Structure 1
Amino acid sequence: MADFDDYRTRKAGQDHLVRNIVVVAVVMAAAFIGALLLVSGEQTAPTADENAAAASPPPAEESPTPAPSPTPAATPAGSHAFFTDGNLQVLAFRLSGSLDASLKEALPDELKDLATPLAGRLSEALRWKLDPRRELRPGDEAKIIFNPQARTERAPLYGFRYRSGRLGKELFYVYFPDAKGSTSFYFDKEGNSIAETIQRPPLRNEDMQLATVRNLADRGMFFQTEPGTKVIMPFPARVLRLNWDQEKLGRSVEVRYMDSGVVAWFCHLEAISDVVQEGAIISSDTVFASTGSTGDTANPGLLYRTFRQPEGETAQPINPLEVHEKQKYQLPAADRVQFLALRTKVEQLLEKVAVPPAAASKD
């Protein structure tokens, strides 16, 4: 029993000690937790300014200023403008040299073989207004309508505008083969032919209606005819010489007109009348020769040239239109309705293209 009593006494003391330890531990834990909460509260409690800031929406984030978009590089101006309407092609270009060279530069690769015939046709038409060899200038503007399917030496040119720096104006003409069959097929807006018919020509009037006349400016006029067409003397004249350059000019007659003193050549003749001798006087309207293809010429006809050549001085070639009176051929009334419809079509097509701007000068 004593052992048991001792055990109870020792056990009671031990229990009291444990309770004290637990109480102390609890108090210390509570103190530690309180201190921890106090420190945490001091660090996290928001100030009034922080509360106000929290109530305000956050400032909007500034977007970075975008870099300006690069300006697209300007498209270089082309050397020509081109438009297709069925079988017809419309081309606008600016002269940079000769007509032939400018057209070769402007035409698409598949049509460059038309440059020479088109230049020839345009040059042939312009000769009635200026000299294509001397008076076409770089920078002149042109618009033409043509049919590329007609790949012939004389490719049809159905209409054109040409702004000449030399003349200071624009030329506009339409191709229109009238029923009468005039010597020129190009007419202006009013129906006047570009060709000026010379008065007192070296062919009879009925033969002039059938001839194709090309004005070569100061190189004369070429009357393309059937071989053997009669040649007449336009003015009273004295014969100066015959056949002086047969290889180039063929059978030829040179005369001096008695009234004006102008010297005239009649070349590529088939035959010359026996009355034509050096020093002989031939009256006006006298038949004295016939057209042919002698000498260096591709087509039968008459080359007619005129010169100013005072006695003993060097000859100066002049356009026969300066020697002869001239007049324009006008379309007859019966053709005007059809012509005006065609003119409107040509004007509309030419508006489809724009001549490229002049190249900037390189300073």
Structure 2
Amino acid sequence: MQTALNIAIYLLFAVLIFGSLAPLSSHPHWFIRGWDFPRFQLVLVTVAATAIFVWMNHSDAAMRWNLWVIAALGVTISLWHLFRIIPYTPLTKPQVAAWKSTQATSNDASERRLRLLVTNVEMENDQYETWTRIVKEADADMVIAAEISEDWLPAIESLKADLPNQIVYPQDNWYGMAMLSRLPIEKHAIRFRVQDDIPSIDAMIELESGELIRVIGVHPRPPEPIRDNDSTARDAELVLWGKELAEDHRPIVIGGDLNDVAWSPSTRLFLRLSRLLDPRRGRGFFNSFHADHWWMRFPLDHVFHSDHFAIREIRRLEHVGSDHFPILIDLQLQPSMQRDHEPLEQKSTDEEDAKEKLERAAEAELVEQASEPVPQRSPAAQP
């Protein structure tokens, strides 16, 4: 029995080593990119396997070298993953400074505030009343909703009293999208950055102060085995947005289900290219998926923003029947605090990495459909 367990742990460590090294490759195959996700889970499995192996064999002199090897591998693998995920815990300094009322430069601080709710409703989810109730309770200024289909239009219509300005693009392919706002939408565009069935919503929003901010809702296609999708489309879309937003010096907020974890090479490349900030760094994971499986959750729903904003609050809301939890973020437009934030340091290889991802998308004949860098159309309240 003990021998069989030892062999099982040896095999498990072979898998753990492969899974730890796989993300170093830039290959887009879902089996490679999928190892970006469960770093926290890999740490737990590694610690547990190491502890079991040591407990079973600590008194066996013949296993002394095996013990040292497994213990060393356990520590190395754990530290390897912790290095990536610790920046998303309160153990490190927050990347985005917290806003305090004493930092307001005028008496109209509340008019420069943006409460944004990001929610993947899950197209098949039929708990419409639960979702609308939680949206109303969140009292957000804006909602970015992914996976909106025709079946979701009545629920969206029911929010018109609270969120009258609505841009809705329903689809039955899990990539419909809506942007709902109580704030005026100055102009907007539905954009298809990489694939003609994957929309993004790009809008200019007027705060109560009269200042304009650019808000973008995104939901790129994920790498996943069921449909044999690789990460080419997702990575290219993030690069395109990163390059475009780097040239836009206005206040920017981009959010949605990125189908990527915060610590992945693709998301961090996007942040370095765009110079945007991740408010979770230094605060917590805020795991949003999978809502039904506590043991396998990842931060897939994101809100990134320019350094014009400080943060009042960020939190995960309750279950809405979807496989994603909604994420609520409360931002304060406070450009005077720009020097209080710490964007990721750019790397000399960023442009080369971005070029590689775009070339891979071009080879796969994934072509950008919307070329206009800023919204141009006047919004029409729908659904």
Please indicate the TM-score interval, normalised by the length of the shorter structure: under 0.3
For normalisation by structure 1, the TM-score amounts to 0.26
Highest Rg: 1 or 2?
1
Instruction: Point out which structure has higher relative CO (alpha carbons under 8 A, 6+ apart).
Output: 2
Flag the structure with higher helix content.
2
Flag the structure with higher strand content.
1
